[in-house]
Each structure stands twice: as C-alpha cells, then as structure tokens.
Structure 1
C-alpha cells in the first residue's frame, strides 16, 4: 500500500512526547523521520522509564513514540555538527523542535536562519506556553499544563481533590495539532512554493481541548459572578451535563450512562422515583439528587443485568472495562490494534498500530525505535554530508 506522505523527509529535533508523537504520526503515514539526537544520552525519553519497563537500553515509552524512525547523532553545541545539519536542511521538507525559547537561536537553527537555507522548509516548533508572555520559560510538561489549564477540576466528584487525566493528554493533543499544522503548511507550499513557520503549545492545545467547558463558562449569562463549573457529588463525568451522565457502581463492577431521557431511563430501570426529575430541568438543577437515586438502584444488580435492559431499549450505556478485560473482548480483537515491532538486535515489543485506515487498510509498521545514532553513517553517505 502506497502511503500519502511517502517521499516527505522530516528532521526531528523534538524530545519526550508531544513533538515525537507528531513525528510518529507522520512516519505512520509514510514520511521518513530522521531523529537528531545528542551523543551518549540521545532523546531524554530514552531514559524516561514507566513502571520500570525497558526494552534493550531504552524505555518502553521511547519505543512506543519513536518506532519507524531513524536516528542521526549530532552535538548541536559543536559548530562542526551544526554545519553538517545545515548542509542537510536543503534536502528535507519539515523540521520539528521543542527547545525552550531562546535556545534554538543560540544554536543557529532558528527559523530566520534555516529559511534562508531552505525557503520551502516547513518549520514546526512546540513550546509549553508560547514564546512570549510571563509563562514562556515555565517547563512545558504534560501534568503542569493540565494543572494550570483548569482541566484537573473537571474530573472526579465534587469534593475530590483536583484530578489529572491518567494519560499524557496535553502532549497527545498538542502533537496532533502539530501534525494538522504541518499538513496544512505542506498543502499551502504545494500551491505557492512557500515554506512556513508553525507554532503550537501545550497550553493552547489543552485550552482548545476544553472549548466546550470554557465556552459555556465564558458565555453563561446566568452566572454573573463567574461561578466555577461544579462537579456533581456522585458519578461525575461532565461538569456541565445533568443526570444521568456518569459512571455508577453495580453489584459486580461499574456501568457508564451517557445522555438520554430521564423518563425513558426510569421506565427501563423500573425506577418510578426517577421520573420525577424529567420535568422543569430537574435532571440538571437537582442532578446530585437524581444521580443518588440512580446509584442506589444500580448497585442492586449486576452490570450485565442493567446493560441487557438498557441496550434492549436502545439507551446509551456501556461496561467499564479494565485493560485485562478490554483485551479479551471480541470487539477489541476485531480492531486488530496490536502489532509487534522488531529491530536488528533482536528487540521485540508489542504496541498499538496507527489508528488511521486508508481505503479500508490498516497501517502497520514493524520497525522498532532506532538505536542511538544507528543511521548516522548511512545518512551522511546518502546526502554527501
């Protein structure tokens, strides 16, 4: 299968997650991604170990976000190595970096400099909080961006402490935004022949991720005192939605209920008391009381019992699965999300594939993340560096 970005070359200076995640998606779609890494240590993510899990000398995390890339070793503090990079620039289409403000200028690889070398280059940079303003030098890290953006006050119940997402959501959303920006700039270049500089940040990305809640907050005329969004006391899943929206315990697990008619839900559950909340917006205005009624009822039977009743009435609901339950389901298996990546030194790792399908075809790349500097010699020979 011919992939849409074949023939595109990306020079990746990014470390950790957001930038490399963008590079991963570009590589999945056919781009050649050359990862420029410092000697000895390489990308700092190589040593960012989660759950004490390593494959070879590198963290499993590094392998998941850097598969299907090449590694080129260069010391950007060495003027000779920087000159090598500059000789490579006319031969690539995109560069990405996530250096803190000011560093890329000191290295002599800022946009003004490299665009003189290659005017058609797409120059994509990620920052934590933009390159201006009082936050610009704060560390751009996922948990910190989540915490400063207000996101941590949307999960959990009313009296819970702030709760961050249990995944690097700011990094992933920011990386996705970078891919969109790069593809848009490439399309523009095809029409005009001009390169472009694109900027994305963790903070702007995670704020846009909350456009639903922030827009409600900024435009709530009934809230002149700018009262903060309030999480419900139980089964909270969305600060601006009423009952039954949330996750509830059952006799043997949990069940998730999405939006739906309270009156219909009361009939399907055989819970007459709940019908009282169907008029005068009580399902929202008294949502804590309504959710309490639902919670006390659902815990009396199993998840399977309730799902059978609700699905028969076409009410939106689902089981709440753990990883070990998820991977055993026929639904998960039918998606064929798993693939095994390998490397010439006998490294082998099971990970997830690209989620995109092209013309009905799933995209699999079996090439594991590179050894530090593994492709330096070949790249220098190929490009006469």
Structure 2
C-alpha cells in the first residue's frame, strides 16, 4: 500500500475531512454547523466538508471487534475455536484502527492549532484515563499497591501514548524516501530488543508503527481498490483460510505475538523468531485488513454516526472488560464457556460498545475526551488579527 496511480477508469474518491482528528482514535471532530442566521466568514468561505461514511463505518466495526476480542479472551483457554477466532480478529482489528489513524494524520504538522488538538484530544485523555484506570484497579481488584504512573500505561491507554508519539513523528515520515520499509526495520529491531522496557509501552509504539506509516502513505485510490467487487469476493476464502490456519496454530502458538508488547526473548524464543514473526504478522495483518475494508459498507448506515464516538467506546468499555475479570463473572457463570454462552458474550460486547459510542455518551464525557482548554494556550497571532478585522468591519 504505497503511492500508486489512480486506477484507470475509476473516479477519484473524495478526501476525508481536512481537519486533524480531535480525539485519539481516528474520529475527526464533526464539522460544526453555523448557527441559523450567521453569515459566512467571508466571500471565499467554503462549506464544511461532509464526513466520509466509509471511514465512520470502518471505525465502528473495528471498535466492535475490539470489544468482542476483549470479551473472548477468558474463553480462549477452554475453546480452541474461540482461540482461533480471537487470533484472526487480533490479526487485523488494531492494525485497521491504526492504519485509519495514520490516514487521518496525513495533514498533521507542527502548526499551533494542530499541536493544541493533539494535547487536548490525546494527551489529556491519556492522563485522565490512566489515573481513572489505576484507581479502578486499586478498588475493583483490591490491589492498593497498584501504582499510578503516567510512564507505564495500563490496559487500553497504551494506544493514546502510541498515537501521540506517532503523530509527532509524522513530519519525519513525510520526508524520508522509504517510510514503510524504515518503519518495518524499526519494528523488527524492537522485537529483538528486550531491554526497551515498559516505559510508555514503547514495544507496542514501535512494533505497531508500520501500520500507522502505511496509513500516512495511503491515498483515496488505495481504498477504492480495496472496495472492488473482486477483492470482496476474494476476501471470503482468505478469511476462511485464516480461520483454518489459526485453528491449527491455536495450541502451537502464543496469541501474545498479536499484542506486540514483548520482544521475542521475553516470549521465550530465539531472537531471530522476532524478525520472522514481525514480518510475517505484518504481511498477514495487511492482507486481513484489506479484506476487512473490502466488506465495510460505503453508504450511510444506522451505525455510521457512531463512528465519531469510537474513542469514547474504546476507553469506557475497558472498565467493564476488566471489571468482568475482577468480579469473576466468567467464573460465576460457567455456561458462558459453552457455544451459546460464547455467542451471548459476543452479542453483549457488541451492544455495550455500541451504546458507549452514542451521541449522549459523547456529550456526557466530552469534558474528558475533547476538552477545549482555551485557557491553557496562547491565541495565535493570525487569529487575533482576523478577530480584530472582523470586529472593526
């Protein structure tokens, strides 16, 4: 998925909204509609761009798979089929999410307003939820010794740290000649470096980096190629083959490889296995991600509006996902390990994450996810000049 010419005979797909996403997960802030009767800013003012339903659909479906994967985790020790499905989903759900994050970060630079959104939409939610998760573990898991440390992300907050680092490095990936091979080399080196440690969850930051860089390099034409009918048809046997391979590999391979949080040595294998597995999993993840995108609806669906709330669902569902372990729900209801129980768990996870992405939840938690914090930043000189000119006209 590198730069390519527009496919012959196909119409160029519209670009996504130009603004950088305000939140950490790839959910660009919906364009604000002017109040009734408000005049446009000037004669050259352009109407707000519409959100692309394809990307909102993809983000919603990906976050549903994230929630299902967390709900399946306790079942994998008792069901080989659940383990196989878990491995396949983990092979592409976060890579797809990260790739979209990279795609919507293409316009990021060190401009003041974009740095401000990076702080308010990524750094501040990280601090708030890292503290909230740590306090939750102290109380719900009866673990008073659990530290509150902003340097050691716990559970889901690693993604916010990673996105903050990735987005800051975006200008670098724009100027290097071979960004994707370079990012892959970084990921490979990380996979064989056990001394990196847990600070800022750098193993995940570095090992997932290639997917972000691929997103930076992608163009609308690439998504058009993945939406073609033949790709959709081909993706069905690809997914079936992936499930069969995962079913065979389930008792032979640790699913920890898909988390990308440990080096090969920490997983108890030789260093060269890290090189092989990093490259192999990158290839498999890209293929499965392309198959996933091929089946994402292009038109507006009932869940399209939920695509703007994926960060809310992602961070909030973690309390229930972890709480179900702390409170022993899976141990108290052993029928959950049966096939019907596994289906029930999947449906509940999908319903919960859907509810947490809804506009009412977004409004309730916007203070933590998308705080304005205008008091914390200097006003841009150009913006001040425009304000003065409007007030005097």
Normalised by the length of structure 1, the TM-score is 0.26
Higher gyration radius (CA):
1
Q: Which structure has more helix as a fraction of its residues?
A: 2
Q: Which structure has more strand as a fraction of its residues?
A: 1
Which structure is richer in relative contact order (CA contacts within 8 A, separation 6 or more)? 2
